[in-house]
Structure 1
Amino acid sequence: AYFAEIIKRDLNKDIKDIPGAGAAGGLGASLMAFLNAELRPGIEIMIEIVKLEQAIKDADLVITGEGKIDSQTIYGKAPIGVAKIAKKYNVPVIAIAAIIGDDAGVVHQYGISTLLSVSGTPMRLDESVPNKVAIIKNSIKQSMRAIRTGEELKNRL
């Protein structure tokens, strides 16, 4: 708080309560005060850099992921940024996570159609990390099988 007060006094810039600026004068606040930097969510920058909207608008399905999906995910995490674009183009989104919190259902209103856990069985972190690629591949394979099953059911109805 003291650092923020000094910046306000000496530079006439109030950085104390700016979201994302850091706790009363962190790195973000310093960059804003001394370099006139603009703070933007990381997902917005990545969406621009990789031209994600252009890729999603022509997609049939989007698969995204996060270590943990819960009610906090709606506050700027990558899956929500991705899902908002997909929702704009009516593209369904599957979100895969290592942990799905009990309160994760809130993400559905932001465009995430389905939540899947990468782990079929409970395991410790020291077991999952060395096998992360195989675990994620298996989760994606199971997702595709579920989609194929849905298509088969659709053809029967």
Structure 2
Amino acid sequence: VVGLGGSATTDGGCGAAAACGVRFFDDDGAPFVPVGATLSRISRIDASGLDPEVARIAAMCDVDNPLTGEHGAAAVFGPQKGATPELVRSLDDGLAHLAQVVRRDLGVEVEDLPGAGAAGGLGGGMVAFFGAELRRGVDAVLDAVGFAQKLASADAVISGEGSFDSQSLRGKVVLGVSRRTREPGVPLHVLAGRVDPGVRDVLREHGIASARAITPEGMDLEEAMERAGELLSAAARDLAKDLA
């Protein structure tokens, strides 16, 4: 099992692949290890040297973003890590180029694969280079803790997120929980450090009964982090009163 996280690399999994024996060549036939800035230099991929010890892999990811495009690895996660609009375009072009070479040399289509954009494109790389199965990390955790059995006797479910925004509705924990609670009709309530106003209009369609921010209006991030436990407890008490 490989957990996917950390999108600052944006190398489409090339670093991991190179470490396990996959070779990348430029137009001059020289081998190199691609990074985000040099993905467009890839001319050929040779996976014949892949370490034979690599076993069947399940890759756990918490988003369903494709590899490229407006919802892809670079466009969505790049700005979070400090990428400028120009750099985002460059990284996205590099990932698109990588997907084309992967399609030609390895016969694997990953560009529009849900989850391929996880962890800077590592999701796509795990499928392309290792034949991995992409699984939602939240589903694996919920199964491991026996969530279905606990849900059967629950009157309500409370989930949480640091920042509850549009990205939360693309496969992260809250959405994974809502998929389980929606069918039996168990109300799901979200407590988050902050709640983006833009998601309030779509809560119902995702089976979410309410979402509230634990951080008071005007409180800066540093103070909110220092008082996170206190704020969460207070918000939970307020929610419990509303549900009583």
Q: How does the TM-score come out when normalised to structure 2?
A: 0.54
Look up the SS of the partner of 2:171 in the other structure: coil
Which structure: greater helix fraction? Answer: 1
5+ residue gaps, structure 1, are: 149-157
The Cα of 1:60 is off from its aligned counterpart by 1.4
After superposition, where does 1:27-106 map in structure 2 within 5 Å? 27-105=122-200, 106=202
Conserved 8 A contact 2:175-2:206: yes
Look up the SS of the partner of 2:227 in the other structure: helix
Q: 1:153 maps to what in 2?
A: none
Q: In 2 relative to 1, CA 119–22 (structure 1 residues): closer, same or farther, beyond 3 Å? A: closer
Q: In 2 relative to 1, CA 75–146 (structure 1 residues): closer, same or farther, beyond 3 Å? A: same
After superposition, where does 1:122-133 map in structure 2 within 5 Å? 122-133=218-229
Q: In 2 relative to 1, CA 53–132 (structure 1 residues): closer, same or farther, beyond 3 Å? A: same
- Which structure carries more relative contact order (alpha carbon 8 Å, separation 6+)? 2
Alpha-carbon RMSD across the aligned residues, in angstroms, is 2.1
Q: In 2 relative to 1, CA 119–2 (structure 1 residues): closer, same or farther, beyond 3 Å? A: closer
Q: 1:138 maps to what in 2?
A: 234
The Cα of 1:132 is off from its aligned counterpart by 0.7
Query: 53-62 or 124-133: which moved more?
Result: 53-62
Distance in structure 1 (CA, Å) of the matches to 2:127 and 2:166: 29
Paired residues, number:
147
Q: How does the TM-score come out when normalised to structure 1?
A: 0.81
- Tell me the alpha carbon deviations over residues 99-147 of structure 1, each in whole angstroms, 9 at most, x when there is no partner: 1122222022222112222123421111011111111011101111222
Distance in structure 2 (CA, Å) of the matches to 1:114 and 1:14: 38
Distance in structure 1 (CA, Å) of the matches to 2:111 and 2:146: 33
Look up the SS of the partner of 1:94 in the other structure: strand
Distance in structure 2 (CA, Å) of the matches to 1:47 and 1:87: 15
Look up the SS of the partner of 1:39 in the other structure: strand
5+ residue gaps, structure 2, are: 1-95
Look up the SS of the partner of 2:149 in the other structure: helix
Look up the SS of the partner of 1:33 in the other structure: helix
Q: In 2 relative to 1, CA 21–58 (structure 1 residues): closer, same or farther, beyond 3 Å? A: same
How many percent of aligned residue pairs carry the same amino acid? Answer: 32
